[in-house]
Amino acid sequence: MTTRRLLLLLLPLCLLACGNEPEQRQEVIRPIRYQKVRPGSDLLKRTFSGTARAGIESRLSFRVAGAVEQVAVQVGDRVKPGQLIARLDATDYRLQVQEAQAGLANARAQARNAAANYERVRALYENRNASRNDLDAARAASESAKAQVRASSTRLDLARSQLRYTRLTAPSAGAIASVPIEINENVAAGQMVALLTANGQTEVDCTIPESLITLLKKDMPATVVFDALPEQQFTALVSEVGVAATGQATTFPVTVRLENNSNLIRSGMAAAIVFHLPKQADRQPTLVVPEAIGEDRMGRFAYVVKPQKNGLGTIHRRAVTVGELTSDGLEVLSGLDDSDLVVTAGISRLQEGQRVQLLPGNEVAP
């Protein structure tokens, strides 16, 4: 009786279990974005940081030492040729001029005395009242006195020049970029007193790694963008290419000169210099794709989509070899054809042979 009741209770459960058939799982078709592979450029686009400077920068300094008595300019002033920049205390140099003048006067007096003595001795020698030795000695003394006059005259010219050097004037028209001295400060000969930026084409300096320096040539075009003027681009030409590395680094100095100058550009402004360098002859042709390359334990790969009907497509994995990352995208050296469509997003959720929905408007890369 107990067994019969147990069977009656289990029968409905068995019927219920038999009636629930497993549901069929529906295929999920993901929408994807894709772009067409493009041929790579024959030029390498490279950008380097640089600093602007005036085409002509003069570090003005005194040719003599002394105490600064006057500073006639300030940073930002525009000056004309011959305009006073600064002046030293010239008291000592005036005294040197006076001393040189006195020395010259004394030398001239001695020269006159020596010349007169020579004339007397020569007259006595002609009358046979003086010896040949007396004549030679008088002539030597006269010539020595004349040489002393010339030396004293040279010392006077030097003293006058040093007196003139106590005044520093602008050699050309331009603007004052720096004045690192103050009144009453003692400065040495050759110490910079003011930095004069003269009118001319602005130049931008940068450093280039050794792997690219051989590709740069003089007069090669470039584009310069300043951080302070982001909406403007300036064309430039390479004016200087360094032949020796700078310091301990394996970089070489390069200078470009702007073709179209602007009053808004200031010396010292940060800039980005864009070069379009030719590729090496042994570099193989490349294709360019967006950043849609994946990598796993099997290596780098890209998903290529093969379009089908009704806006659908099939995903296929391609092993690729990549080159350098450029501003246009990533270079692909092998594994893709120029007609392939590569998936640009969501590659981590895709697999070989998967069907996907192609979003419109992605056939060609922007």
Which residue in 207, 235, 243 sits closest to 219, CA to CA? Answer: 235
Average pLDDT over the chain, rounded to whole?
83
Predicted local confidence at residue 331, as pLDDT: 72
Predicted local confidence at residue 65, as pLDDT: 95
Alpha carbons 21 and 214: distance in angstroms, whole number: 74
What is the DSSP secondary-structure string of 218-236?
TT-EEEEEETTEEEEEEEE
pLDDT single digits (tens) 108-140: 999 999 999 999 999 998 888 889 998 999 999
Q: Which two tokens stand for residue 350?
A: 């895709």
Q: Which two tokens stand for residue 41?
A: 């450029």
* pLDDT confidence bin for 1, thresholds 50/70/90: very low
Q: Give the mean pLDDT of 27-39.
A: 74
Predicted local confidence at residue 143, as pLDDT: 94
Domains contained in the chain, CATH given = 30-42+284-358 (2.40.420.20), 47-55+201-278 (2.40.30.170), 61-88+167-197 (2.40.50.100), 91-164 (1.10.287)
Which residue in 277, 254, 264 sits closest to 203, CA to CA? Answer: 254
pLDDT single digits (tens) 133-190: 989 999 999 999 999 999 999 999 999 999 999 999 999 888 898 999 999 999 999 9
Alpha carbons 18 and 101: distance in angstroms, whole number: 132
Alpha carbons 15 and 333: distance in angstroms, whole number: 64
pLDDT single digits (tens) 336-352: 777 788 887 767 777 78
Helices (H), the chain: 2-19, 91-126, 132-164, 210-213
Contact at 8 Å (CB) between 262 and 213? no
Predicted local confidence at residue 174, as pLDDT: 87
Q: In which residue are the tokens 């790969």 written?
A: 301
Q: For the stretch 39-62, what's the b/e string if a residue is b when 16 or more beta carbons lie within 10 angstroms of its beta carbon? A: ebeeebebebebebbbbebbebbb
* pLDDT confidence bin for 2, thresholds 50/70/90: low
Alpha carbons 20 and 89: distance in angstroms, whole number: 111
